[in-house]
Amino acid sequence: MSYGAGADFPGLSNSKPTSAINKGLDENVSSLYKAWSKLLSDSSQSSSSGEDDSEYESPPHFENCRMLIEMNHRLDTRLRNGSYPPWTIWKGKLDDLPLGERDEQLKYYRDQIIAEGNYPPWVSGSDVENYPMTRKVQRDLWLHQHPVSCNDPSVKFLLADWERSPGFGIGAQLAGMTGLLAIAVNEKRVLVTGYYNRADHDGCKGSSRSSWSCYFFPETSTECKNRALELMNETLAWQKGLMTRKENYTSKDIWSGRTPK
């Protein structure tokens, strides 16, 4: 249902002129805009409006994007000794602490053993707000896709491009790749995705161009992706079964395959 010029809005009485409603909305928007604009100026600059902007939330684009990228990269990367990332309930909030205090807290968290109950921090909400076992499955999938050493001769790969047929929408593409992930998990292979046509545009910059990492966390580490691309050119790797591709499996395998337990 659409509302055209002069249409009545649900819950609003016709007794109040539309001009008065618009005036009230315009004042609220103007007030919020002024508060956000003040946050852009030097914090030491005195305010002339006399308004208290502490009651307004920061606009979404005020987030420190560089800090968020660095934090997410750290939480998606094993530590140098091969142990898990610092997955704790702090979710990277230590970045707000002074450098010295942050280092002490990081040392404490990194010295902790990642035991049952410590899961990847990107699952939001409580357990009852998610599908059962969501956190455990996310943890298991991350561990499967991030072996300690991608160069270990025992690590096998499934290298797969995304479906490109015009008849496949984004939902169908994701469904197909989900099937390939299930195959990879069942065969104890690391899934490495290739060219993604939906990310082949100027909005996806750098290494995220033509990759679904433009929208989501990468499915595996850069080291594993580079190792798979290296093995792709070795005939012996294919002969030994270290590498498979989408064409090694039937449509039934991909679209109605067995889901890992």
Question: How is the chain split into domains, by residue range?
Answer: 59-130, 147-261
Q: Could you report the per-residue pLDDT of 150-166, keeping only the tens digit for each?
A: 999 999 999 999 999 98
- Report helix, strand or coil for 196: coil
User: pLDDT value at position 36?
Assistant: 73
Percentage with pLDDT > 90 across the chain: 40
- Mean pLDDT to the nearest integer, 221-240: 95
Cα-Cα-Cα-Cα dihedral of 247, 249, 255, 256, to 10°? 180
Q: How many angstroms separate the CA atoms of 120 and 146, rounded?
A: 13
CB 254 within 8 A of CB 180: yes
Total-model pTM:
0.65
Q: Could you report the per-residue pLDDT of 43-74, keeping only the tens digit for each?
A: 445 444 555 555 666 665 556 677 777 778 88
| 154 CB-side CA count, 13 A | 4
Q: How many angstroms separate the CA atoms of 25 and 177, rounded?
A: 46
User: pLDDT value at position 59?
Assistant: 62
Q: 143, 140, 147, 155: which is closest to 228 by C-alpha?
A: 155
The structure tokens 């990081």 sit at: 106
Give the pair of three-digit tokens for residue 232.
Answer: 């792709």
User: pLDDT value at position 101?
Assistant: 60
- Mean pLDDT to the nearest integer, 242-252: 95
Kindly tell me if the per-residue pLDDT of 6 is higher than 60: no
Least confident of 23-37, 100-114, 152-166, 207-221: 100-114
- Mean pLDDT to the nearest integer, 249-256: 93
Band of residue 256 on the pLDDT scale cut at 50, 70, 90:
confident
Q: In the chain, at which residue ranges do the beta strands (DSSP E only) sit?
A: 156-160, 189-193, 243-245
Q: How many angstroms separate the CA atoms of 165 and 227, rounded?
A: 28
Give the pair of three-digit tokens for residue 243.
Answer: 């590498």
CB 34 within 8 A of CB 51: yes
Cα-Cα-Cα-Cα dihedral of 69, 74, 80, 86, to 10°? 170
Kindly tell me if the per-residue pLDDT of 172 is higher than 80: yes
- Report helix, strand or coil for 247: helix
CB 157 within 8 A of CB 193: no
Q: Could you report the per-residue pLDDT of 79-101, keeping only the tens digit for each?
A: 888 887 877 645 455 555 555 66
- Mean pLDDT to the nearest integer, 233-252: 96
Kindly tell me if the per-residue pLDDT of 192 is higher than 60: yes
